[in-house]
Amino acid sequence: MASVHESLYFNPMMTNGVVHANIFGIKDWVTPYKIAVLVLLHEMSTTKPMALLDRRRLNKLILPLQQGPDLTLEQFLKIVEECCLRMVNAVKLKLLLMADGELQDMEHFFTILPNAFSDSEAFKTSVVGLFMRQMLLAYNKLSFSQVYKLYKSLQQYCHRDNQPELSALPAEDMELTSNEDPSADHIDKDELDTASLHQSELRSEGITRGPLSQKQAEYFLARQAYLLKNDENKAMSPAKLQDELNNILKFNPDFAEAHYLSYLNSIRVQDIYISTHSLLHYFDRLILSGGEGKSNGDEGYGRSLRYAVLNLATLHCRFGHYQQADLALQEAIRIAQEANDHVCLQHCLSWLYTLEQLKGSDSVVLTEDSVKIAAHFCLPYLASLGIQSLVKQGAKQGMPANKLLDALRGTDIMHWKQSLSELIEISLAQTTSIWRMYGKSTMARQQAQLLLNMNSLEPVNFSVQQNNTEAFAVALCHLAELHAEQGLYAVVSDIMKHLKQQFPPHTQHAKLWMLCDLKIQFEKAMNDGKYHLAEPHVTAISALNSTEGLYRKAQLLKALNQTSEASKILQQLQQQCEKSKNIEMTIRCICGFQDSTPFDFSLQLLLAIFIITTKKNADIFEILLNMHFSLMLGIPEQALVLVQDVLESVLAHGSLIDKGRALLLAARCQMALAGAAAQEHRLTALEQAVHTLDEAVVYFSQLDCKERMRDIHYLQARLHHTLGNIAQRNKCSMLFRLLDQELPSSGMTVVSHL
C-alpha cells in the first residue's frame, strides 16, 4: 500500500516535518515576473499615443506572457523590445523605481492599478481583466511578512541576470484558497489559438526550476502535446521537455497529464522503459485522483483499467513486441467483455487486425468483421480505418484499381461530411500509392499535390498546420521518387531536405524518407554503373525493409553477372511474396528471372507474369510484357503494333528508364522488320530505327544511364555502317568505346546482352 499511495506520505512541499498545501491547490500567486507583466499592462493602458502596429503586437503578446512560465527580467524585456522599443524603456524604468524605492512604492502600484481600467468593460470580461483581478486578490490576501518577502524577491529579480527563483516565495506563504473549482480554469481550445504562442523565447529559454501554478502547468502541457501531435519540430527537444516535466512532477507527482506527456515524449526517442513507466503512472494517478469515478462510480475506475491495458498493447506494437502486445490485447478484451464495453472492444479488434498485419498474417476476415461491427455501433472513425486497411491489403494482393478507388471514394464522402481530416489525408496518400503502383504516375503526382496543398480541417493553434503526419511523409516520398524517375535530382534533393527538417531522424515516420532516399541513391548508382557505391545502400535498405533489401541485392548481383546467386535470392523472395500475397514484388521477382534463364523457361515466366498482370490490371507491367513476349516469339510485326499502341501511355506515365526501354524495344522491332523487308523498304525501316534510337538515348542520357547508352551507341554504329553514314558511324563508335572503357566489365559482351 505504501508504494501505491506514496503521495500520501511524501510531499515535496514538506518542510520541517510540516506538510503544506499541495501547490496545485493554488490557482495563481503573485511573483516578481507577474508584477512585471502587470506593469506592462498598466503602461499600455496609460500610454495613449502608441502606434497601431506596436499596440497590435503587444496585444498578441499578452496571452502567452500570462500563461507561460516565468521569465527572467532580461528575457521579458527582450520579448517586449521586439514589439515596442518605447514600451520596454517605460516598463524597465517603472520596475527599477519600484525595486530601488521602498515597500510602499509596490503597495502604491497595486493601489492605483485598478484605476487605469476602471472605465473599461474589458476589465470585467476579458482574459486580461481576469488575470489582473486574480493578481489583486492574491496580493490583498498576503500578510505583511509575505508582502515583505515579495518585495525582496522583486529586488532580487530586478538586479540579477540569472533565472528567477520562483520558489523564493514558498507555497505556504503564497496560498490563496483551496476551495475553488479546479476545473474552472481549464484551458479553452480557442484560448490557445494565437499566432505568437510559439515564440522561441517562451519555448527554449523560458525554463523555470520553481513550481508552476495550475494554469501555467495546464497551458504548458496542452501546448507541448499539441505541438507533438501537429509539428514536432516546434516542440521542445526531448531532453529539455523531460527536464521540465520532471520539475512539474517534483512539486506534484500525482499530476496525471504530466505523466502522459512524459509517455509521449519518451516514444519520440524510442525509450521503452520510461514510456512504459510513464504510461502506467498516468493511469495509476488517473484512478487515484478519482477524476473518472466522480461521475461514473466504479465504471470510471474500470474504464481506466481497460484503456490502460489497451494503451500498453499499442505501445508494445509500436516497439515490435508482438507477443507482449497480444497478451495485453487479450487482457483488454477480457476486461471489456466483462464490462460490456462495445466501444473498447471495437478498439481492441482494430488493434488485433493491425497486430496480425504487422506479424505478416492474413487479417482480411478480422478487418471485415471490424468494419461491420464499427458500422453497427455507429463508430465512423474506426469503420473508415478498417476500410482503408482493407484497401491497403487489397492493393498488395493485386485487386483491380477501380475497386480500390471506388472503396476509397465511398469513405471520402463520410470523411468530408464529418470533417475527419486525418482520414482524408490517409485516403489521399493511399490514392497516390495506388495510382503509382498501377502505373499512372501523372495521377499519382496530382493526388500528392492535392494532399500537400489541402488546408487542414483541424483548428489551427500555435500557428501550426497539421503537416507532420504519416500521410504527408508518404506523399512527399512519392513525389521524391517520381522526380527521381524523371532525372530531376536537384528537386529530389530539395524534397529530401524538407523531409529531414520536418521528420528528424528520431521521429516515428523518419524511416519512410530514409528508405526512400536509399532507394533513390541505389537506383542512381546502378544507372551510373557505379556498383561499388550501390553495395552499401543494399545493406542500409535491408536494415529498414528486408524485402526491398533482398530485391536490391539480387539486382546488384545480376548487374555484376552473378546470375546464379541472383536467381537463388529472387526465388527465395518470390516464395516469401507469394506466401504474403505481395503481387507487385512477385511480378518484379519473376521479371528478374527471365533475363538469366534459358529461352523456354523465360517464355514460361513471361506467360505467367502476363496472366497475373492481365488479371490484376497492372497496366505498365502488362504493356512491357506484351512487347517482350511478342518479340521473343519472333513476331516483330505484332510486337511493333503493340509498341505503337502503348507507347503513348508509356511516354505519358512511365519513368525515363521505362520510356527509353520502350523506345529501344521499338527500335529492335523495326530492325527485325527491316531484316525481312524488301530492299527498297529496308533503308527506310533502318532510318526509322535510327531515329527511334536517337529519342531513346535522350531519355537515358537524362538519367546518366551509361550502360544503356553504351548499348544504344553500339546499335547506332551498326545501323549507320549499314546505311553508309561513315561520319555518324565513327562518332557513335567513339562514344561506345569511351563508355565501354569507363564501365566495369561484367563478363558479358554487348552483342550477347542485346
Query: Domain containing 371 — which CATH number?
Result: 1.25.40.10
φ/ψ of 15, rounded to 5, equals -135, 135
Percent of the chain topping pLDDT 90: 13
| Residue 601 predicted with pLDDT over 90 | no
What is the per-residue pLDDT for 494?
Answer: 95
What is the per-residue pLDDT for 430?
Answer: 92
What is the per-residue pLDDT for 520?
Answer: 94
Least confident of 233-237, 535-539, 545-549, 630-634: 630-634
Dihedral (CA of 418, 423, 427, 428) sign? positive
| Residue 321 predicted with pLDDT over 70 | yes
- Is residue 459 domain-resident? no
Cα(14)–Cα(251) distance, rounded to whole angstroms?
A: 10
If asked whether residues 105 and 235 sit together in one domain, one would say no
If asked whether residues 385 and 255 sit together in one domain, one would say yes
If asked whether residues 304 and 410 sit together in one domain, one would say yes
If asked whether residues 79 and 222 sit together in one domain, one would say no
The residue-averaged pLDDT of 164-191 equals 38
**Comparison of pLDDT for 170 and 111, the residue scoring more:** 111
Number of folded domains in the chain? 3
Q: Which three cell numbers stand for residue 682?
A: 529496308
If asked whether residues 155 and 272 sit together in one domain, one would say no
* Strand, coil or helix: 705: coil
If asked whether residues 120 and 234 sit together in one domain, one would say no
User: Domain residues for 116?
Assistant: 32-160
- Is residue 240 domain-resident? yes
Q: Which three cell numbers stand for residue 448?
A: 500528392
Give the distance from CA 737 to its chain's centroid.
48
If asked whether residues 150 and 221 sit together in one domain, one would say no
Cα(46)–Cα(112) distance, rounded to whole angstroms?
A: 11
Torsion of CA 491, 494, 498, 500, to 10 degrees: 110
- Is residue 550 domain-resident? no
Cα(122)–Cα(612) distance, rounded to whole angstroms?
A: 72
Q: Which three cell numbers stand for residue 127?
A: 482574459
A 10 A CB-CB count for 61 gives 22
- Is residue 454 domain-resident? no
What is the per-residue pLDDT for 538?
Answer: 92
If asked whether residues 274 and 138 sit together in one domain, one would say no
| 105-142 tens-digit pLDDT | 888 888 888 776 666 665 667 777 788 888 888 888 88
**Comparison of pLDDT for 188 and 356, the residue scoring more:** 356
226 exposure class (CB count in 10 Å sphere: 0-12, 13-18, 19+): buried
Give the C-alpha distances (Å, rounded to integers) separating 548 from 136, 423, 570. Answer: 66, 28, 11
**pLDDT band for position 586 (cuts 50, 70, 90):** confident
- Is residue 101 domain-resident? yes
* Strand, coil or helix: 19: coil
The residue-averaged pLDDT of 53-79 equals 82
What is the per-residue pLDDT for 308?
Answer: 85
**CA within 13 Å, CB half, 669:** 25
Domain boundary (115, 134, 160) is at: 160
If asked whether residues 47 and 110 sit together in one domain, one would say yes
If asked whether residues 90 and 156 sit together in one domain, one would say yes
- Is residue 465 domain-resident? no
| Residue 418 predicted with pLDDT over 70 | yes
| Residue 474 predicted with pLDDT over 90 | yes
As a whole number, the mean pLDDT across the chain is: 77
Domain boundary (423, 441, 459) is at: 441
281 and 254 Cβ atoms separated by less than 8 Å: no
What is the per-residue pLDDT for 21?
Answer: 34
If asked whether residues 260 and 378 sit together in one domain, one would say yes
Question: In which element (H, E) is residue 531 found?
Answer: helix 531-544
If asked whether residues 134 and 228 sit together in one domain, one would say no
- Is residue 199 domain-resident? no
Alpha helices by DSSP H, 545-581: 546-559, 563-580
Domain boundary (160, 178, 199) is at: 160
